[in-house]
């Protein structure tokens, strides 16, 4: 009897074990299928690529005037732009590993935090970026002239924000930053230039419209800067109710030279007897000059020394490329050929009696060794851009433009006859019903990463940010491009 009971028990155990195994296998298969499904979903998610690297560009997130917005260094392109609440953001792309890092917030701007401000987005404090000889990354950002609370501005007037300087805590590491107190707070339109010997120059306007343009120089990789030195002088006009003001674009030339293209802003009083429109963004003329950083001399294109800071009268006499008469100008850019002969582009449009000019188009000028030659330029569309001069004859313009009125486009237009005619050679990006903001060319650009642009989202203040080169946009995993977009009432100032 005991034997039969034992056999029955063993049979039950065997059956139970098989049932257990079957149940367990079913469970494992179920879990496995879910895991496989999850892995498959993750793989699919990772496989989804976006052609933009971030979607939190804010307002005019990049511009030609605040530059450079990017630097190519040791196989990596580093980029910066204006993000939520006008704070600066920095990202990087490794061209070997195809890996994106960031964006990381690199500092806190004083602008963009006031919910009662009439102008929703100031846009004057966009960051400029530079990498020093020790590998530390620098950005200048956040200023539109400073405020009266910051004290007296000895070189101009006040407006808003603070000009700030932040440095990465470790070389070539964009993840952590420190804001230093070693440049003037009264700044806007920051422009960095690094010379071959490692000297750093930071150019900016020392205040609001009625201020000198200055530079501060550092010889210790941005640890300290010399006091501001004026190179374009603001001053009161005597014959009309206005002041002289300027808009330069500064870049490294050949050797020890820094080259400057600029136009003149007639800064009228809000109430004046000459123009009922009051203070308007009226700018005229095209100018060019050179700063020899080795000797400290400023010169015109004919190598004649200039007395600094430059006044309107001296600029007209010694540095004038062309007078635009009543036509308005905007955003000049310059580059030089291997022999040091400059070329300049400037947007020019008619005065139509409104507070803005009529449509502006790029005009191109080339110094032939004896005179400035104005190109016909009939082939270029409306749009703003940067200039690259490879030789006296070979020149390219990287252009943001609207085609057919409803298609935004970023393209390169090439000339092989010194700018007499241009032809569209490369289209980097096209979007229907879109508009773009564009940076200057990235310093020492990789062919795949030449320029940064922002695409405006319909009904939003935010922009998708693209890094563009000869192969079009550099793509990124889509799940890595979405960032929180804070509102002012969420920000703890």
Question: Catalytic residue positions?
Answer: 124, 189
- From the list 282, 286, 277, 274, the residue with the least C-alpha distance to 248 is 286
- 387 with 343: CB under 8 angstroms? yes
CB atoms near residue 95 (< 10 Å): 16
- 103 with 89: CB under 8 angstroms? yes
Give burial (CB, 10 Å; 0-12/13-18/19+) of 197. Answer: exposed
Structure tokens at 141: 């950002």
Structure tokens at 151: 């004290």
Backbone CA torsion sign across 395, 401, 405, 407: positive
């Amino acid at each position: 009897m005991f034997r039969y009971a034992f056999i029955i028990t063993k049979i039950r155990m065997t059956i139970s074990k098989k049932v257990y195994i079957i149940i367990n296998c079913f469970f494992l298969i179920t879990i496995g299928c879910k895991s496989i499904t999850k892995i498959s979903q993750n793989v699919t998610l990772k496989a989804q690529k976006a052609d933009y690297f971030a979607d939190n560009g804010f307002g005019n997130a990049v511009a030609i005037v605040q530059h450079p917005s990017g630097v190519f260094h040791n196989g990596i392109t580093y980029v910066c732009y204006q993000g939520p609440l006008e704070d600066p953001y920095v990202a990087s792309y490794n061209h070997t590993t195809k890996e994106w890092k960031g964006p990381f917030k690199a500092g806190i701007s004083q602008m963009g935090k006031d919910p009662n401000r009439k102008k929703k987005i100031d846009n004057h404090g966009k960051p400029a970026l530079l990498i020093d000889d020790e590998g530390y990354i620098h950005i200048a950002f956040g200023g539109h002239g400073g405020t009266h609370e910051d004290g007296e501005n000895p070189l101009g007037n006040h407006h808003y924000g603070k000009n700030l300087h932040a440095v990465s805590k470790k070389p070539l590491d964009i993840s952590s930053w420190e804001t230093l107190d070693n440049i003037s707070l009264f700044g806007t339109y920051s422009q960095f230039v690094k010379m071959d010997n490692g000297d750093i120059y930071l150019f900016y306007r020392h205040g609001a419209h009625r201020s000198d343009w200055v530079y501060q120089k550092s010889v210790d990789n941005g640890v300290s800067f010399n006091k501001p030195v004026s190179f374009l002088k603001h001053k009161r006009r005597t014959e009309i109710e206005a002041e002289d003001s300027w808009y330069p674009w500064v870049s490294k030339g050949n050797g020890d030279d820094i080259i400057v293209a600029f136009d003149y802003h007639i800064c009228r009083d809000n109430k004046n007897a000459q123009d009922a429109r009051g203070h308007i963004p009226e700018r005229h003329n095209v100018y060019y000059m050179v700063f020899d950083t080795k000797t400290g001399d400023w010169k015109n294109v004919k190598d004649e020394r200039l007395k600094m800071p430059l006044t309107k009268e001296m600029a007209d006499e010694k540095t004038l490329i062309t007078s635009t008469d009543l036509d308005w100008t905007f955003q000049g850019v310059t580059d030089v050929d291997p022999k040091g002969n400059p070329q300049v582009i400037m947007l020019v449009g008619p005065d139509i009696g409104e507070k803005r000019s009529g449509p502006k188009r790029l005009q191109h000028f080339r110094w032939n060794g004896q005179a400035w030659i104005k190109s016909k330029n009939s082939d270029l569309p409306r749009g703003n851009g940067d200039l690259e001069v490879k030789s006296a004859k070979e020149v390219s313009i990287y252009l943001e433009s609207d085609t057919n009125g409803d298609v935004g486009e970023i393209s390169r237009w090439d000339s092989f006859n010194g700018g007499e005619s241009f032809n569209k050679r490369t289209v980097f990006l096209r979007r229907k019903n879109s508009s773009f903001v564009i940076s200057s060319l990235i310093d020492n650009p990789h062919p795949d990463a030449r320029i940064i642009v922002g695409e405006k989202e319909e009904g939003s203040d935010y922009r998708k940010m693209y890094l563009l080169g000869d192969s079009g946009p550099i793509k990124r995993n889509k799940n890595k491009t979405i960032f929180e977009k804070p509102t002012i009432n969420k920000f703890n100032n």
